[in-house]
Amino acid sequence: MWTGAWRRPHSYGDAAAEARHVHEALGLIDVSTLGKLLVEGPDAAAFLELLYPNRFADMTVGRIRYGVLGTDAGRIMDDGTIGRIADKRFYVTTTSTGADTVIEWFDWWNAVWGMDVQVVNLTGALAAVNVAGPRSRELLGRLTDVDVSNDGIAYLDAKEARVAGVPCLILRIGFVGELGYELHFASPYGEYLWDTLLERGADLGIRPFGLEPQRILRLEKMHIIVGQDTDSESNVLEAGMSWIAKLDKDDFVGKWALEHVQARGFREQLVGFEMANGVVPAEGGQIVVDGCSAGRVTSARLSPYLGKAIGMAWVRPQLAAEDTQIEIKVDGRLEAARVRLKPFFDAEGARLRA
């Protein structure tokens, strides 16, 4: 299936089984399509602080944070992770379709600000895979000499190490909600490292999984997909990520717009929902209250692990409360659902931090 300019496997035959297997054992997915940027220079931290609503200057070397990039009008344009790999060097990932837009955005603002920072697009030069599941640490331990215990590589750590002899940047992050590691490395090693991971993980039950299983798994954690769960008007406050907007910072791109949203109040909010009877509504389906449209579905899937039909939707603010009953139009009839504000799976993140 196509994702922007990239063609990626939908699945390897059974998307539901692949999603369940990541929870129960060990999965491997190619995430080389992620945008990958190097931001380096004396002003690198200050530069990122101005571009993103959250903080990066206080990060210690070897740590990662999630970041949502906003326009000067406060609208969500991209998201990804930012890892501090040296005092004046940051490794930034973007969505698979966002790398070119993000680097143009970075360059445009740096032309305005004139800061002492360089931005390099490494997207094509680096490959990346995500090893995920309860057995991922055991597999990684077989292939590297570094300490892979929770003390050695903690959640949201970034560490450079050799994996199967290949120099890698290991990012311990979890888009799919399980213990996992992203390995970023020079793209000529891509096929070799993929085959080696499958070979050395065979007795652990490793299986590749595709984009559709990944989307099921991320939905269980209520992780957004920019452009699907967001649109041209979405901002981090109404999208349920107010924690990411550090409005006490002196300035950042879009700050005034987010302050305006906070002052005027929310017009809609992004929430999760759980269907009462297991039917999966269409993405774009309408939330209905008293015969009138009160929101729209952005994502919906049947979770094979949870045995529930789950999704995300934009709703009126008065509906954005835990366990609020809503109705969703499905094939011309109204089906009952309840609002959920916490992730459907591992709400406290114990599996990610294990």
Among 176, 220, 203, residue whose Cα is nearest residue 311: 220
d(CA 24, CA 34): 26
Instruction: State yes or no: pLDDT of 5 exceeds 90.
Output: no
| Same domain as 99, residue 200 | yes
Greatest Cα-to-Cα distance within the chain, rounded to the nearest angstrom:
62
What lies within 8 Å, CB to CB, of 128 at 6+ separation is: 30, 31, 32, 34, 36, 182, 183, 184, 185
150 assigned to some structural domain: yes
246 assigned to some structural domain: no
CATH number reported for the structural domain that contains residue 76 in this entry: 3.30.1360.120
| Same domain as 110, residue 49 | yes
| Same domain as 18, residue 98 | yes
257 assigned to some structural domain: no
Mean pLDDT calculated for residue range 112-139: 97
Instruction: State yes or no: pLDDT of 174 exceeds 90.
Output: no
What is residue 22's predicted lDDT score, i.e. its pLDDT?
98
Instruction: State yes or no: pLDDT of 317 exceeds 80.
Output: yes
338 assigned to some structural domain: yes
CATH number reported for the structural domain that contains residue 344 in this entry: 2.40.30.110
- Share the mean pLDDT of the chain: 97
| Same domain as 163, residue 16 | yes
231 assigned to some structural domain: no
d(CA 351, CA 354): 5
| Same domain as 273, residue 204 | no
Mean pLDDT calculated for residue range 263-273: 97
| Same domain as 192, residue 289 | no
| Same domain as 17, residue 96 | yes
What is residue 20's predicted lDDT score, i.e. its pLDDT?
98
Mean pLDDT calculated for residue range 173-202: 97
d(CA 237, CA 348): 21
| Same domain as 59, residue 139 | yes
- Give the chain's radius of gyration (CA, Å): 20
What lies within 8 Å, CB to CB, of 332 at 6+ separation is: none
29 assigned to some structural domain: yes
- Going from the C-alpha of 127 to that of each of 101, 142, 164, 189, 249, the distances in angstroms are 20, 21, 15, 8, 35
Among 304, 300, 132, residue whose Cα is nearest residue 225: 300
| Same domain as 275, residue 194 | no
| Same domain as 278, residue 195 | no
pLDDT confidence band for 3 (50 / 70 / 90): confident
Mean pLDDT calculated for residue range 87-96: 97
Of the residues 218, 247, 277, which one is the last residue of a structural domain?
218
Mean pLDDT calculated for residue range 27-34: 97
Among 128, 158, 131, residue whose Cα is nearest residue 142: 131
What is residue 295's predicted lDDT score, i.e. its pLDDT?
97
Instruction: State yes or no: pLDDT of 102 exceeds 80.
Output: yes
| Same domain as 202, residue 314 | no
d(CA 17, CA 99): 31
pLDDT confidence band for 240 (50 / 70 / 90): very high
pLDDT confidence band for 96 (50 / 70 / 90): very high
d(CA 28, CA 130): 6
pLDDT confidence band for 249 (50 / 70 / 90): very high
pLDDT above 70 covers a percentage of the chain that reads 100
Encoded tokens for 122: 């490494």
What is residue 120's predicted lDDT score, i.e. its pLDDT?
96
pLDDT confidence band for 168 (50 / 70 / 90): very high
Instruction: State yes or no: pLDDT of 4 exceeds 80.
Output: no
CB count, 10 Å around CB of 148? 22
Domain span at 132:
2-218
226 assigned to some structural domain: no
* SS3 readout for 179-236: CEEEEEEEHHHHHHHHHHHHHHCHHHCCEECCHHHHHHHHHHCCCCCCCCCCCCCCCC
| Same domain as 295, residue 154 | no
d(CA 217, CA 223): 9
259 assigned to some structural domain: no
Number of domains in the chain: 2
